[in-house]
Structures are given as C-alpha cells and as structure tokens.
Structure 1
C-alpha cells in the first residue's frame, strides 16, 4: 500500500498507531468487516497482522463472537494444528483489533502472482493434508470454520516454509452444538448443499468446501461458481445428480428450489429457471458431467486416488461424506499404498479408522512422505520453466 493510501471508512493509513505500540506498515486486505493491516510492534520490532473491525453494531458483535471462538482455539497448538496463531485483542479507541501472527500469502494470491493456473499432485497433497489436520482438531473441540476457501488458506512463508500452510479467518466460525438448520454461512461457490437446502448440518460442511478447493487447485477453475444458490445447485445436479429424496425431505428450503410431484413415486423435481423467475445462467469455465472427468489430474494421478478422494469429500449427503480422521488415512497421502482399502465402486465408503490415537501417531510419517512428494512437484515445475526459458531464447 502506498504510504498516502487511506482506508476511507476507518481512517487508518501507513504510519498510524493502533493501540499503544502497533505501527501500520501496510494494508493487507479490506472487506465488509473492516481491514487487515501489517503492523510493527514498536517495542519488540515483531511484525504482526492486526484485524480491525468497523464501528458497526453487527460487525462488532461478530468480532466479539470471533474472540469467543479464538479463546476456545487456544487449547490447540497452532503450528501442529495448522491454524493461525492468535495473540490477543485490544481496543483502538472504539475499534476492536485482533492481533494474529503474520503469514505470507493466501493460495489465491500465491497462484495469481506466479501465474500458476494449476498445482501438481505433489503440491496439492500437503495443502489438503494440513487443512484436514486443522479440521480434525477443530472437530475434536466442536468448532466448525464455516468459510473454507483458497483466500483463507495461507502459505506460512513462501521462501522459508513454502510447504507449510495454515487456516485463517474464524469470523464465521461457530460451535457445532449451536448450529441450526436456518443458519447460513460459507461463500456461495464453496457452500455445501445441506446449507443451501436448510438441512440440519455440522462440521462436514468444511470438508465439502475443502473438496471444492481441491478441484480449484487441480484444474485452475471453480467447480460450482454460481452467483446464487439456485445456480450452484443446478451445477451440482448436472455433475453429481439430484440430492436424494431423504435429503430433500429434511430441507427447510427444499421447496424453494424443488417441487414435489403429486405422484409420490416420482419424488422431487428441480425447478426450471422460468419457474424460479430468473434467466438461465452459465458461469462455469469447467463444466463436468461427473467428477471422474477431472482428467487434468488423472493424467498424473496413479490409480485415480485424487479423484476418489475428491468424490468422498463432495458426497451430497453429509452423513456419507468422509471425515477428517478417515481423510488423513486415505491412500492418496501414501504413494506406496493403493486403493485396496477404498471401494472404487462406492466412493462413499472409507478406510476403517481403528482409533484416533493411531491416526495421530502416523501423521508425522505421512507428512514427511507428502513433503517429499511436494518437493518433487516443485522441482519438476522449476525444471519445466527453465526449459521454456531456453527455448524462448
């Protein structure tokens, strides 16, 4: 941010002092909630990220809710659990400021700045593994993130730790036990079908969103980029089929998008654009008739492990969706294994998880294998770029 650039709403600019010792160095991001600044602690010279909430009653309430969640997360090791470290909060006059560790770049910016459309399997593996690790620990303490997307997955340090990632932004996070079917969350493109339909939901919505992230990283395109829930549902149905009658029967909003046939044998039917009173919309760059058509990945995906994993993450029925503990045991994360423990004909099946303790004991061994696989992917990409440079010259 240029030194004279100012946030019109909050009147915060480079050189501003937040609290008693945090000097604003740069503006990292701005949204409806307020802004995130890069600050230097003038007493310790430590660089941190300060999230400043706008002086708005609704946003201030949300900030207080976020603090409540962040306090619950303090029982977790942020490095081992791959979640952002929260230091504390303070008031700058009437504004609530949240103090976090400073991370490098989110995945969207990381791809944009390097002009990378897709990542290799080796590069995707550590991202998914570490985010599933975060989801496992969040689930263990009964927290649902509610906003998993590429913008909320950060590279810790692109130079020193390019294979280490952390989950950020708990502004929409909730306690699972407090969730109600009428609750609404997630960015539309990453929103799980049970949320759209008003079906009682739980932390499985985070796994759905992570599945969408996985496809995005592997193909360079959003899978279901609907501007509305109706558009997104139409894309989901075209690729994965219609949700089951049992799902639709439980949805508070099912009648808004579907009509129930008088003939009980015909079940539910998705409404047409005319019936919805909206023109047909098509915003997909990636139009798949099934998840198996992710050919970009299959070309280098031995035995279809990635596609199998994504299919389990994107189960329409959240009760059949793979859970984090099962996810971390999937053969995709161990190149020496095959799909002998995964039923290819029934993607909803999952490896048997004997105990959570056993899963945690093997995490370090698997993560080492993943990092080696990822390094190989980075080296291959670098070699291809060097070759391209010589050819152009």
Structure 2
C-alpha cells in the first residue's frame, strides 16, 4: 500500500517538475525574443527618426518610411506618439494624423481587439495621440462591450471629448462604471468652452458628483465667463454647493463684494465660513475687520486660524491681534491671536 502511494507521489512530482521546467523554458525563450524584438524596434526608431521628422516638418514623405513588418509598424507608432507630444503646429498635427490613418489602421484595430488589457489601453492612447477619427466606429463597438474596464471607459470618454462627439452630456451621465468627482474633473478640465457650456446649462439635472466637478473645473481652469453662474449658486445653492462655489471663487482670485461675503461669513456651516474668510484675502478691507474679529471666537479651530491670518494681513491687523490677545474674553481667541502674532514675528 505504501509503495503504491509512493509511486503515485513520485509520478505527480515528476509531472510537476516537467511542467515547471517547460514553463521556465517558455518564459526564457519569450524573454529572449522580447529583448531581441525590443532591440530591433529601438534600432528602427533611430533609422526612422530623421526621415519622419523631415516629413512632419516639410510634408514630403521619404522612401525610408515604408512599413513592411509588424516591428517596423511598432517602431513608427512609438516614434510618432513621441512626436505628437512635441509639436503643437496645426500643419504638423494634420500630417501626423494623416500618416497614422494611412499606415496604422490595421495595426491599431488588431490592438483594440486584443485580449490583454494593457495592449488595448496602449491602442486607445495612440488613437488619442494621433487623433484617428477613422476609429470612431470600432471605439463604439469597444464601448458597447460588457467587459470594457473603467480605465478603458475613461480613455474612451477622453477621446469622445477630443473628437467633439455631440452626445457628450448623455454619455457622461450614462457611464457603465461609476465615476468619481476627481475623474469627472479630469474630463471637464479638457473641455473647450463650447463643450463646457452645455454642462452648465444642464446643471440642475446632473448628478451631484458631476455638479461638484463642474464647479471645480470653473475654478481650476479660471473660466471667468461662468462667474455669474457661481454667484447664482452662492445665492440659491445648498450648503455644499455654496462651499464649492466659494472655493472656485477663491481659486480664481475673484472679488466678491463685502455684503455678499458678510452673508457667508455668518453661515451655519463652518466650511462655508472658512471659504468665505479665504475669499476676504483678495479684498483686505478694514470693513471686514469686525466680522473677522468675531470669527476669532468661532467653534472651529480652522475658522479661528484663518480669521487670524486674514486679520494679520490687514493694514492694522497686527494691532488688532494684539488687542485680542490681551483683552478678548474668549480664551480660544486669545490663544489663536498669540499664535499668529508669533508666526508673524518669525516670518
């Protein structure tokens, strides 16, 4: 009995060793081939670099740019992708796009349908780099796939923005994967004004996460044409929308009048009071001094600290902080005034 078990164990062990040896041999051969191919691609890129550069600059295609093998295609694709990030000229970009459309379509199509995620993603990056509008229909097919990943969908949306697709708002609200505020913001930052305007028009019907990203994009991209929209949110929006709108205003360094700021300086939300104080820094008016002094006794540490910093930047701010540090009834206000006086002395 024991001899039979030992026999079976030995057979299993031998089979496993054979499998592992075969796997190791396969990986070694694959590594050697990959290194060999990589070396050939790099050599081809060196050969193609100057002819391709002259073609993009002058529009005269050289004989040396003919594509006869997969490695040559790969070398040209990688080289052209690098050039696409170097040149902003419309003429060069048009030649670059035309070259890609003429030479890379079969290769890119094969990559889009590949079973490996990384290869599909590289293909999507190249389509964006080369602005290959001939790929619109294959991309629609990819987007319709049940297996499309979130990263692929994000890249497909970036390409949709680049190609200025008409149903952008609809696609953004009906994504296969749930997008975060950060991901929406990344997309909105690349919107041209004529693409961004419909988002603002549809603001009330959009999900909350998209609303936050729209407001963020206005501030980050300094979209001054939408200041009136932010002001409307400050008057009619909910607490979180008002906080976001104030943050955008601060990012744009836009001047809000003192009556408007006074409303937000006395808001129920400490986040709203905090952002309103930050907006005060672009005015630095002594008219704000009473409100800022009152906020030195705020329940929120962050609000008290920001109020002290804003007071210190006023013309008579240091004297006001000294007065608070000595005579304020509230201990928190005295402590915060002393802290900022020390910081001011050090700086």
What TM-score comes out, normalization by structure 2 length?
0.27
Larger helix fraction of residues: 2
Larger strand fraction of residues: 1
Rg comparison, structure with higher value: 2
